[in-house]
Amino acid sequence: MRTLLKVAVIGVCLSVGMMLSAEASETKAKMEKAKGEMKGNVEEMKGETKAMKEELKGNDTKAELERAKGKMKGTGERAKGKMKELKEKATD
């Protein structure tokens, strides 16, 4: 009886620990996605800022190039965030 009780307590502790671990990794996955989104937005804002500076100088072609570079970097950062999110979900 004593052994059965010990095994039951250990089983409950392990299952609770696994549930808490799953919640922690889900939270980390959401954080990675949010960081990717934030970095993507920052890169797009940098590109837009550089584009405005070039437009003030009168370089419309270079402005469009800077804007496009910012969008591409933003997309890349979002993709990195999504991959990190999927990686965290996969490690569950």
Classify residue 84 by its DSSP letter.
Answer: H
Q: What is the pTM of this model?
A: 0.66
Q: What is the mean pLDDT of residues 24-30?
A: 78
* CB contact burial 22-34 (16+ within 10 A = b; e otherwise): eeeeeebbeebbe
Under the banding of pLDDT at 50, 70 and 90, the label for residue 54 is very high
Q: How many domains does the chain have?
A: 1
Domain range for 60: 2-90
